[in-house]
C-alpha cells in the first residue's frame, strides 16, 4: 500500500513538468482570453460579443469562407500532386514542391505583393500576352489572398498526403489495377478511401493554420473584408481594446473546436469500422 502511494507520487512528479507547461502555455492563456472577452470596464458583460456580432460578423463569415476555400483548393492540389508522385518517381518535383516549406511567411507575403501588384510580374506578363493596357492588381483582393494561402499551405498538406499515399502497401493498388482499374480510378476507389485519416489531418491542419495566420492577410489581403486575425490586431493596435480582440479570438477558437469535435468523431468511427 505504501509502496503504491510512493509509486503514484513518483509518477506524478514525472508528468509534472509536462503538465505545468500545458497549464502555463495553453490552459491559462485560454482561460484568460475567455475571461477577458467578457470584461468591459471591469464589468462582466456580453458587450464585447455584441460588438463582434455588430461590426465583425461579415469578417467572421469571410474568414470561414476564405479558409474553407483554401482548404478545398489545397486538398485538390495536394491529392493531385501526391497521386502523381505515388505512381511516378520524379525527383525534381519531389524536391520542388517542398521548397515553400523553407520560406518564411513574411518573405512569401512580400514576394506575392510584387508578383501580384497592379504593375507586378504577373500583370506585366498578362498585359503582354493579352495585349491590354491596364489590369487591376490582385495583391489587395481575395484572389491574391487565396492564391498566396494556397501557395503557402499546399506543401504542408501535400507532405502529409504523399506520406500516407507512399506508406500504402503497393499490393492494394496493384490488386485494383489487376482487376481493370485505371490509375485515376485507383486513386478514387482505393488510395483516397484508405488514406482518409491522413487527408483529414491535412485538411484540419490547413484550416487551423490558415484561419490563424496574420502575416499573409495583413500583407496581401483586401482592406475590407478582413480575416479575423487582422481585426484582432487592429482592435489592439488602434483601440487598445483587448476585450473585443479576445472575443474575436474566442470566436475563431470555437470554429476550430467544432472542427476538432468533428475530427475526433470521425476518427472514432474509423477505428471502430476499419481497424476493429
Q: Which of 170, 193, 190, 162 is nearest to 77 (CA)?
A: 162
Minimal distance, residue 184 CB to other proteins, in Å: 11
If one asks whether residue 163 binds other proteins (CB under 8 A), the answer comes out as no
| Binding track, positions 237-266, relative to other proteins; x by CB under 8 A | ------------------------------
Listed in sequence order, the residues at least 6 apart from 139 whose beta carbon sits closer than 8 Å to its beta carbon are 112, 113, 115, 116, 117, 118, 120, 220
User: What is the rounded distance in angstroms from the CA atom of residue 175 to the CA atom of residue 272?
Assistant: 25
Among 4, 42, 54, 276, binds other proteins (CB under 8 A): 276
If one asks whether residue 269 binds other proteins (CB under 8 A), the answer comes out as no
Minimal distance, residue 200 CB to other proteins, in Å: 14
Among 171, 224, 240, 269, binds other proteins (CB under 8 A): 171
| Cell 463582434, located at residue | 52
Q: Is the peptide bond before 77 cis (omega within 30 degrees of 0)?
A: no
User: What is the rounded distance in angstroms from the CA atom of residue 170 to the CA atom of residue 88?
Assistant: 13
Q: Which one, 170 or 224, has the nearer CB to other proteins?
A: 170
Please state the separation of Cα 147 from the chain's center in Å: 14
Identify the three-state secondary structure at position 43: strand
Q: Which one, 87 or 242, has the nearer CB to other proteins?
A: 87
Q: Which one, 111 or 192, has the nearer CB to other proteins?
A: 192
Which residues does residue 43 pair with via DSSP β-bridges, in sequence order? 40
Which of positions 175-234 make contact with other proteins (CB under 8 A)? 175-182, 185, 189-190, 193-194, 196
Q: Which one, 17 or 276, has the nearer CB to other proteins?
A: 276
If one asks whether residue 94 binds other proteins (CB under 8 A), the answer comes out as no
| Cell 507547461, located at residue | 21
Report residue 108 as a C-alpha cell.
512569401
| Binding track, positions 113-132, relative to other proteins; x by CB under 8 A | --------------------
Q: Which one, 1 or 179, has the nearer CB to other proteins?
A: 179
Question: Could you give the count of Cα atoms lying within 13 Å of 187 in the half-sphere of its Cβ?
Answer: 17
Interface residue list for other proteins (CB under 8 A) = 169, 171-172, 174-182, 185, 189-190, 193-194, 196, 273-276
Amino acid at each position: 500500500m505504501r509502496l503504491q502511494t510512493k509509486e503514484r507520487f513518483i509518477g506524478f512528479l514525472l508528468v509534472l513538468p509536462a503538465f505545468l507547461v500545458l497549464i502555463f502555455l495553453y490552459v491559462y492563456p485560454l482561460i484568460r482570453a475567455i475571461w477577458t472577452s467578457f470584461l468591459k470596464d471591469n464589468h462582466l458583460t456580453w458587450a464585447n460579443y455584441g460588438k463582434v456580432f455588430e461590426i465583425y460578423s461579415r469578417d467572421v463569415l469571410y474568414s470561414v469562407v476564405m479558409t474553407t476555400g483554401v482548404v478545398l483548393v489545397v486538398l485538390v492540389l495536394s491529392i493531385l500532386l501526391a497521386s502523381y508522385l505515388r505512381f511516378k518517381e520524379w525527383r525534381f518535383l519531389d524536391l520542388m514542391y517542398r521548397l515553400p516549406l523553407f520560406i518564411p511567411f513574411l518573405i512569401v507575403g512580400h514576394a506575392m505583393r510584387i508578383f501580384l501588384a497592379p504593375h507586378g510580374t504577373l500583370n506585366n506578363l498578362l498585359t503582354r500576352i493579352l495585349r491590354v493596357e491596364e489590369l487591376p492588381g490582385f495583391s489587395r483582393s481575395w484572389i491574391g489572398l487565396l492564391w498566396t494561402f494556397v501557395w503557402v499551405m499546399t506543401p504542408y498538406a501535400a507532405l502529409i498526403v504523399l506520406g500516407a499515399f507512399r506508406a500504402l502497401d503497393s499490393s492494394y493498388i496493384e490488386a485494383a489495377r489487376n482487376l481493370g482499374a485505371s490509375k485515376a480510378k485507383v486513386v478514387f476507389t482505393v488510395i483516397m478511401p484508405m488514406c482518409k485519416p491522413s487527408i483529414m489531418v491535412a485538411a484540419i491542419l490547413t484550416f487551423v493554420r490558415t484561419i490563424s495566420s496574420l502575416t499573409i492577410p495583413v500583407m496581401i489581403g483586401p482592406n475590407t473584408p478582413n480575416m479575423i486575425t487582422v481585426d484582432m490586431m487592429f482592435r489592439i493596435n488602434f483601440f487598445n481594446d483587448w476585450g473585443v480582440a479576445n472575443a474575436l479570438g474566442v470566436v475563431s477558437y470555437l470554429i476550430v473546436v467544432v472542427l476538432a469535435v468533428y475530427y475526433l468523431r470521425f476518427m472514432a468511427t474509423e477505428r471502430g469500422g476499419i481497424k476493429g
